[in-house]
């Protein structure tokens, strides 16, 4: 004998089929996001490269538009009236936009042999005022001007060069060439070389001790010549 049970009524709290959306087969699921504290190594490297590129660019701009210029400072202490030598100066760099009236390094050849106007310690910046013109001389020194005809001085002579002023006196009246007095010479340093007002002579200012300078000044015109000699030391 079969027993027929009455149909069960659905529970009110049971989920219905429409409560769950069907998955869309055309929609792909995204992978889980990386943890917040994790960093990408390629991104870090890219950031470092960008920082380095900016630093290099800033340095290039500084060198191009800022720049520096070589100037002269004293390599050792010098005293007022001391004649400047090549060993007394050295080259340093100074910003181009500096307001300091420094002496450029390419002016060194014109300054060697000139006396300084003030005492300076080692490392002091040389300025045009450091020399004060030709009036500043060491004690016992003098400058004499020698007017020379063409051919009586080497073309290479320049300020600061060591030279010897040579006098070859003419024979006495009625004397012969063999009776010419022996030539005399005085060592000195060239202070300046300038053409005369007429342009026919060259005037060389030579720094000498006071006694020899007076002797050179007393020589008759046309009997003097300048010989360029090697620097001592």
Could you report the per-residue pLDDT of 53-92, keeping only the tens digit for each? 766 665 555 545 456 788 888 898 876 667 888 899 998 8
The pLDDT assigned to 171 comes to 63
Residues of the chain with CATH 3.90.1210.10: 68-130
Answer yes or no: are the C-beta atoms of 146 and 206 closer than 8 Å: yes
The boundaries of every CATH 2.40.30 domain in the chain are: 141-172+180-228
What the block records as the tokens of 78 is 């010098």
Share of the chain above pLDDT 70, in %: 61
- Listed residue (167, 150, 159, 181) closest to 214, CA to CA: 167
pLDDT value of position 129: 78
Report the top-level CATH class of 141-172+180-228.
mainly beta
Q: How confident is the model at residue 166 (pLDDT cuts 50, 70, 90)?
A: very high
Predicted pLDDT at 105: 86
How much is the average pLDDT of 215-225? Answer: 90
Distance, in Å, from the CA atom of 147 to the CA atom of 94, rounded to the nearest integer, reads 40
Give the model's pLDDT for residue 102.
82
More confident residue, 168 or 52: 168
pTM beyond 0.85: the answer is no
Residue 200: pLDDT band with limits 50, 70, 90 = confident
Tokens of 196: 């005369």
Out of 3.40.1350.10, 3.40.50.1820, 3.90.1210.10, 3.20.20.140, select the CATH number for domain 68-130: 3.90.1210.10
Beta bridge partners of 103: none
Q: pLDDT per residue over 100-152, tens digit each?
A: 678 888 888 888 888 787 667 888 888 887 876 555 666 788 889 999 999 89
Is the model's pLDDT at 232 over the cut of 70?
no
| C-alpha closest to that of 190 among 113, 78, 104, 105 | 113
Q: Mean pLDDT, the chain, as a whole number?
A: 75
3-state secondary structure of 46: helix
Task: Tell me how far apart the alpha carbons of residues 216 and 165 are, in angstroms, rounded to a whole number.
Answer: 8
| Residue 28: pLDDT band with limits 50, 70, 90 | low
Q: For residue 217, what pLDDT band results from cuts at 50, 70 and 90?
A: very high
pLDDT value for 65: 46
User: HSE on the CB side for 61, CA within 13 Å?
Assistant: 6
Q: Is the pLDDT of residue 213 over 90?
A: yes
Distances from the Cα of 38 to the Cα of 33, 51, 70, 116, angstroms: 10, 22, 52, 69
> Across the chain, how many H-helices and E-strands are there?
3, 7
111, with CB counted inside 10 A (0-12, 13-18, 19+), is buried
Question: What does the alpha-carbon distance between residue 40 and residue 186 come to, in Å, rounded to a whole number?
Answer: 83
CB 185 within 8 A of CB 167: yes
Coil vs helix vs strand at 162: strand
Give residue 97's pLDDT band: very low, low, confident or very high (50, 70, 90): low
The pair of structure tokens assigned to 59 is 């340095």
């Amino acid at each position: 004998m079969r027993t027929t049970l009455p149909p069960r009524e659905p529970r009110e709290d049971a989920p219905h089929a429409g409560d769950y959306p069907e998955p869309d087969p055309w929609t792909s699921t995204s992978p889980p996001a990386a943890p917040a504290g994790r960093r990408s190594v390629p991104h870090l490297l890219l950031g470092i490269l960008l920082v380095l590129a900016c630093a290099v660019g800033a340095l290039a701009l500084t060198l191009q538009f800022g720049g520096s210029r070589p100037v002269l400072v004293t390599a050792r202490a010098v005293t007022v009236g001391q004649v400047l030598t090549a060993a007394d100066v050295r080259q340093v760099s100074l910003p181009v936009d500096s307001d300091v009236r420094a002496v450029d390094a390419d002016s060194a050849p014109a300054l060697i042999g000139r006396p300084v106007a003030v005492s300076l310690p080692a490392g002091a910046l040389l300025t045009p005022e450091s020399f004060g013109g030709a009036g500043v001389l060491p004690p016992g020194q003098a400058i004499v001007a020698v007017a020379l005809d063409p051919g009586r001085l080497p073309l290479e002579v320049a300020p600061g060069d060591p030279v010897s002023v040579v006098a070859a006196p003419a024979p006495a009246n009625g004397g012969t060439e063999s009776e010419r007095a022996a030539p005399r010479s005085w060592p000195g340093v060239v202070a300046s070389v300038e053409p005369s007002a007429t342009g026919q002579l060259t005037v060389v200012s030579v720094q000498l001790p006071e006694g020899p300078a007076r002797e050179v000044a007393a020589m008759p015109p046309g009997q003097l010549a300048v010989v360029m000699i090697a620097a001592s030391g």
